[in-house]
């Protein structure tokens, strides 16, 4: 029957004796048998914990139904369980509906002495009903007894009849009790014995000739099965243990809402679906509890999926399970469904990213810095032009300011790079603005320099790996394998000199060289300074989805992935034939191309972008308070500028009527400062002509040192303007004398407006 892990249930001394006889059989050395005494307490929980699904029940015929009902309550009567009833003429119970329905799913095997559709047995039953109806009561057990009595009489009568026809003598010989004389016709009588239940051979041991008569097939009862093949997978439901390992076995999106096999997808899942369709079996996928492929922990004792097969909790192990000689001592393998080697996964060498100066800051932070520079440049130029302290006379007819857009950009950029600037702010508003900017620049540049320094130091001496020899010659990049697995064992047991050196290097790193999963290994590889030896199919899968990693050198070693089965399993040849057929038809190649290069694969560009974040990149959130501080400084700058402007008008003792023109004057000055336009009224031109006539040569000679910046000459109507009004605070004069008399405040206000209109700035 191919049972390798069997639970034997007995209830008396006779059952224990039969168990001991069974254990002495030659073929039991390859099987594992656990005995359970049904008279013990809590025996069914022990059977459940064992995980065995092949169960032998050795109890009295009248107790079979009760025992099976207890098994049903323990959850042991399902489509995954098989039962063998040891009783010589056991009948599958069906009086209880719940048990009858459950037994229709389970596989139940039993022995029977009667062939119920035998013509002689049917004729005997009709005669008994007609002449002896009282003998037909008692069910199948009574029918068996009557059949045995009938056979005995029939055999004896037939033997006598055959002997009489052949001329044999039936006269008994005198037999003495104290002698060993045998009946002389005894051998002839034995040769004539034939039974209606079939040919019988009497000899030493059990019945020698038997044939399969019936097997439980459906809920409808029993059916004839003249060709039962216990080595076939057809119509079976098997348990498959597996492990999550992309792209072989993965959980679907929304798997928590799905049940059974519908939760899984991947290469192995697609493959087993096609194999099951070819061989006509059903299966159930279970994730291995400890998440391991299988490592020998003690002699003969394995964990992971191989341990599940050894314990009988699974019929197959379906996963990227590497065929090794050591594993072959514990399980059997089918023909390989995929060939593989061992490759080295390392971070991709990217010269562009390794030498870029944009990596210290994130893209959002760089955008914020650029936007801040532009906004601060416009604001600083506006504040400088609005302040009278930032204007100077370079001649009698020329005014100039250093706060052009180009100069402001140069001042801010120099401050950002911590360079010296020759321009010194004079107005309180520009001083506040520049102090805020310098503090902002200091924090930003310190953060940039520290991150860039760490980045350069980290990558300056980073070695380049092109082969395993390069890996052996360097010490900066550590390397390792999975903590347990075929790759680990390959290097550990290898006798090739280069591989032995690699294993020595792995051992020298201690526990840091190993990872528990490929996901952990990928994270360490992408973090830098670590390389991982792994199976080439898994490496190819990661390389097609993560552009930051690549394979180094050539693949070493050669092995294959295969389906594992319990040792001595009868399904090995059938599964191997199906796999070979799928390979020859190209089905497995199509599945591999789909799961590796179509489903979820990305196209990695050959040329990497100029900018890409690194593990050291500073995000905007870490420097957000610095931008808030700068914004606060610029707000204070605007408030100081407005305060000086309003205070300047108040000190000129303007009348209440003229104070209404302060804000309109502010608007005009803003327009003149930003648009560099000059607008003059006829009356203003007349006042300017008078002021020019009243200006003394000494006043016209006052000027600031010449500027190296370009200037824009004023037109003729502005040349009569008293430029000294721009320096009224320095000369302590707040009004202008014209022809020895003092003008009214209104006239001074008008000249002040004319002066603003005549301001010119140097275009950048």
pLDDT in tens, 163-203: 677 665 566 666 666 666 665 566 666 665 543 344 554 44
Residues 69, 217: one domain?
yes
Q: How many residues does the chain have?
A: 764
Please state, in angstroms and rounded to a whole number, the distance separating the CA atoms of residues 688 and 694. Answer: 10
Task: Write phi, then psi, for 349 (nearest 5 degrees).
Answer: -75, 120
Q: Which residue has the higher pLDDT, 732 or 620?
A: 620
Residues 325, 395: one domain?
no
Top-ranked range on mean pLDDT: pick from 20-29, 139-148, 693-702:
20-29
Please state, in angstroms and rounded to a whole number, the distance separating the CA atoms of residues 248 and 593. Answer: 12
- Residue 548 in tokens: 């930051």
Is the pLDDT assigned to residue 208 strictly greater than 60? Answer: no
- Output the pLDDT for position 694: 52
Is the pLDDT assigned to residue 139 strictly greater than 60? Answer: no
What confidence tens digit (pLDDT) does each residue in 433-492 have? 888 888 998 898 888 888 887 777 766 556 677 788 888 888 888 999 988 888 888 898
- Output the pLDDT for position 366: 87
Mean pLDDT computed over 332-342: 92
Task: Calculate Rg over the CA atoms of the chain.
Answer: 51
Q: Around Cβ 467, how many Cβ atoms within 10 Å?
A: 12
Q: Which of 537, 559, 581 is the last residue of a domain?
A: 559
Task: Write phi, then psi, for 36 (nearest 5 degrees).
Answer: -135, 125
593 within some domain = no
Please state, in angstroms and rounded to a whole number, the distance separating the CA atoms of residues 507 and 513. Answer: 8
Mean pLDDT computed over 698-703: 43
Is the pLDDT assigned to residue 552 strictly greater than 50? Answer: yes
127 within some domain = yes
106 within some domain = yes
Would you place residue 223 in the very low, low, confident or very high pLDDT band (cuts 50, 70, 90)?
Answer: very low
Mean pLDDT computed over 23-38: 80
Residues 183, 283: one domain?
no
Please state, in angstroms and rounded to a whole number, the distance separating the CA atoms of residues 133 and 142. Answer: 12
Taking CA atoms, 388 is separated from 641, 646, 654, 756, in Å, by 10, 13, 19, 10
Taking CA atoms, 211 is separated from 110, 111, 197, 207, 761, in Å, by 12, 10, 11, 11, 115
Mean pLDDT computed over 248-253: 91
Residues 749, 637: one domain?
yes
- Residue 711 in tokens: 């200037």
Q: Which residues are annotated as a binding site for L-glutamate?
A: 320, 322, 327, 486-487, 535
- Residue 216 in tokens: 């439980």
Q: Which of 185-189, 406-410, 548-552, 650-654 has the lowest mean pLDDT?
A: 650-654
Question: Interior CA angle at 375 toward 372 and 376, to 5°?
Answer: 80
Residues 330, 387: one domain?
no
Give which of 713, 714, 715, 717 is closest to 689, Cα–Cα.
717
Q: Look up the CATH number of the domain holding residue 31.
A: 3.40.50.2300
How does the average pLDDT of the chain come out, rounded?
74
- Crossing angle between the packed helical segments 682-694 and 745-757, to the nearest 10 degrees: 100
- Output the pLDDT for position 701: 42
- Output the pLDDT for position 157: 75
Residues 530, 413: one domain?
no
Mean pLDDT computed over 122-150: 63
Taking CA atoms, 192 is separated from 146, 158, 328, 535, in Å, by 22, 7, 53, 70
Burial 617-627 (b: 16+ CB within 10 A, else e): bbebeebeebb
**Residue whose tokens read 């300074």:** 529
DSSP assignment of 180-208, as one string? -PPPTTHHHHHHH--BTTB----SSSS--
Give which of 39, 22, 77, 74 is closest to 55, Cα–Cα.
77
What confidence tens digit (pLDDT) does each residue in 424-440 have? 788 888 888 888 888 99
- Identify the DSSP state of 260: G
Residues 271, 329: one domain?
yes
- Output the pLDDT for position 553: 83
Q: Which domain holds residue 75?
A: 5-112+213-224
664 within some domain = yes
Residues 98, 149: one domain?
no
Contact 284, 53 (CB under 8 A): no
Is the pLDDT assigned to residue 533 strictly greater than 90? Answer: yes
Percent of the chain at pLDDT > 70 equals 65
Top-ranked range on mean pLDDT: pick from 89-103, 161-175, 315-329:
315-329
374 within some domain = yes
Contact 616, 361 (CB under 8 A): no
**Sequence-ordered list of residues with C-beta below 8 angstroms from that of 147, at least 6 positions apart, any chain:** 113, 114, 121, 124, 196, 197
Q: Look up the CATH number of the domain holding residue 286.
A: 3.40.190.10
What confidence tens digit (pLDDT) does each residue in 702-722 have? 433 333 333 333 333 333 334
- Crossing angle between the packed helical segments 119-131 and 139-165, to the nearest 10 degrees: 110
- Crossing angle between the packed helical segments 497-508 and 486-493, to the nearest 10 degrees: 110
Contact 489, 326 (CB under 8 A): yes
Q: Which residues are annotated as a binding site?
A: 320, 322, 327, 486-487, 535
354 within some domain = no
Residues 145, 89: one domain?
no
Please report which residue ranges of 340-464 form alpha helices under DSSP H.
Answer: 351-354, 363-386, 405-416, 428-460
Residues 377, 412: one domain?
yes
Mean pLDDT computed over 27-49: 82
Contact 322, 559 (CB under 8 A): yes
Give the count of domains, the chain. 5
Contact 98, 121 (CB under 8 A): no
- Output the pLDDT for position 12: 85
Q: How far is CA 760 from the centre of its chain?
A: 66
Would you place residue 683 in the very low, low, confident or very high pLDDT band (cuts 50, 70, 90)?
Answer: very low
Residues 18, 134: one domain?
no
What confidence tens digit (pLDDT) does each residue in 355-392 have? 567 778 888 888 999 999 999 888 888 888 777 777 77
Please state, in angstroms and rounded to a whole number, the distance separating the CA atoms of residues 321 and 563. Answer: 7
Task: Write phi, then psi, for 745 (nearest 5 degrees).
Answer: -60, -35
203 within some domain = no
555 within some domain = yes
Please state, in angstroms and rounded to a whole number, the distance separating the CA atoms of residues 764 and 760. Answer: 13
What does DSSP say about strands 301-302 and 331-333: parallel, antiparallel, or unpaired? unpaired
Read off the pTM. 0.50
Contact 61, 90 (CB under 8 A): yes
Please state, in angstroms and rounded to a whole number, the distance separating the CA atoms of residues 644 and 606. Answer: 59
Q: Which of 70-79, 390-399, 704-713 has the lowest mean pLDDT?
A: 704-713
Residues 427, 395: one domain?
yes
Give which of 71, 65, 70, 67 is closest to 96, Cα–Cα.
65
Q: Which residue has the higher pLDDT, 165 or 292?
A: 292
Top-ranked range on mean pLDDT: pick from 328-337, 405-414, 655-664:
328-337
Q: Which residue has the higher pLDDT, 631 or 206?
A: 631
Taking CA atoms, 205 is separated from 59, 209, 310, 381, 662, in Å, by 22, 12, 33, 115, 128
- Output the pLDDT for position 70: 86
Is the pLDDT assigned to residue 666 strictly greater than 50? Answer: yes
């Amino acid at each position: 029957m191919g049972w390798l892990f069997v639970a034997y249930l007995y209830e008396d001394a006779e059952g224990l004796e039969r168990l001991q006889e069974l254990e002495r059989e030659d073929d039991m050395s390859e099987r594992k048998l656990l005995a359970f005494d049904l008279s013990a307490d809590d025996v069914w929980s022990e059977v459940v914990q064992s995980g065995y699904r092949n169960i032998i029940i050795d109890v009295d015929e009248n107790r079979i139904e009760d025992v099976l009902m207890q098994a049903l309550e323990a959850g042991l009567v399902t489509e995954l369980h098989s039962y063998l009833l040891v009783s010589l003429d056991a009948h599958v119970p069906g009086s209880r509906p719940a048990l009858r329905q459950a037994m229709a799913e389970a596989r139940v095997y039993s022995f029977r002495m009667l062939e119920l559709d035998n013509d002689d047995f049917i004729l005997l039953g009709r005669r008994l009903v007609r002449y002896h109806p009282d003998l037909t009561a008692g069910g199948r057990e009574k029918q068996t007894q009557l059949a045995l009595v009938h056979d005995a009489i029939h055999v004896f009568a037939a033997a006598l009849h055959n002997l009489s026809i052949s001329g044999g003598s039936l006269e008994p010989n005198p037999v003495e009790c104290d002698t060993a004389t045998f009946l002389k016709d005894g051998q002839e009588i034995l040769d004539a014995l034939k039974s209606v239940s079939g040919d019988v051979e009497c000899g030493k041991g059990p019945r020698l000739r038997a044939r399969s008569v019936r097997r439980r097939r459906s809920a409808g009862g029993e059916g004839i099965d003249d060709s039962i093949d216990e080595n076939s997978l057809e119509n079976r439901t098997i348990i498959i243990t597996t492990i999550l390992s992309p792209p072989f076995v993965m959980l679907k999106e929304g798997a928590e809402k799905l049940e059974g096999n519908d939760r899984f997808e991947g290469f192995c899942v697609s493959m087993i679906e096609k194999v099951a369709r070819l061989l006509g079996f059903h299966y159930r996928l279970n994730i291995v509890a400890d998440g391991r492929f299988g490592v020998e922990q003690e002699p003969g004792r394995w964990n992971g999926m191989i341990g599940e097969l050894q314990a009988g909790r699974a019929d197959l192990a379906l996963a990227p399970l590497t065929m090794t000689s050591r594993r072959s001592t514990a399980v059997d393998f089918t023909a390989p469904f995929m060939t593989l080697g061992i490759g080295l996964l390392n971070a991709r060498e990217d010269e562009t990213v390794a030498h870029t100066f944009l990596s210290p800051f994130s893209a959002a932070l760089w955008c914020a810095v650029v936007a801040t520079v532009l906004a601060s440049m416009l604001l600083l130029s506006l504040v400088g032009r609005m302040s009278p302290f930032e204007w100077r006379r370079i001649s009698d007819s020329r005014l100039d300011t250093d706060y052009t857009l180009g100069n402001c950009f140069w001042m801010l950029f120099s401050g950002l790079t911590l360079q010296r600037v020759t321009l010194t702010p004079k107005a309180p508003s520009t001083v506040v603005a520049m102090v805020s900017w310098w503090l902002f620049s200091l924090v930003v540049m310190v953060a940039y320099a520290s991150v860039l320094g760490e980045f350069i130091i980290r990558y300056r001496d980073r070695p380049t790996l092109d082969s395993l020899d390069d890996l052996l010659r360097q010490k900066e990049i550590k390397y390792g394998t999975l903590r347990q697995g075929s790759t680990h064992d390959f290097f550990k047991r290898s006798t090739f000199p280069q591989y032995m050196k690699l294993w020595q290097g792995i051992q020298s790193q201690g526990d840091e060289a190993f990872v528990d999963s490929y996901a952990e290994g990928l994270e360490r590889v992408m973090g830098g300074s670590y390389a991982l030896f792994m199976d080439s199919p898994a490496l190819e899968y990661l390389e097609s989805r993560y552009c930051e990693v690549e394979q180094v050198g050539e693949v070493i070693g050669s092995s294959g992935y295969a389906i594992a089965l319990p040792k001595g399993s009868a399904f090995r040849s059938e599964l191997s034939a199906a796999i070979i057929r799928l390979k020859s038809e190209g089905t497995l190649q199509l599945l591999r191309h789909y799961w590796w290069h179509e489903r979820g694969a990305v196209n990695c560009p050959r040329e990497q972008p100029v900018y890409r974040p690194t593990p050291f990149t500073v995000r905007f959130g870490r420097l957000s308070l610095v931008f808030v501080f700068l914004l606060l400084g610029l707000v204070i700058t605007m408030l100081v500028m407005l305060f000086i402007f309003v205070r300047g008008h108040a000190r000129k003792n303007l009348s209440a009527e003229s104070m209404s023109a302060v804000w309109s004057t502010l608007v005009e000055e803003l327009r003149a400062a930003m648009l560099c336009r000059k607008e003059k009224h006829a009356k203003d031109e007349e006042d300017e002509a008078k002021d020019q006539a009243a200006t003394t040569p000494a006043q016209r000679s006052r000027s600031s040192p010449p500027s190296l910046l370009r200037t824009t000459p004023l037109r003729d109507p502005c040349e009569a303007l008293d430029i000294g009004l721009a320096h009224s605070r320095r000369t302590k004069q707040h009004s202008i004398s014209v022809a020895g008399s003092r003008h009214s405040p209104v006239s001074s206000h008008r000249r002040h407006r004319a002066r603003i209109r005549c301001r010119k700035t140097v275009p950048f």
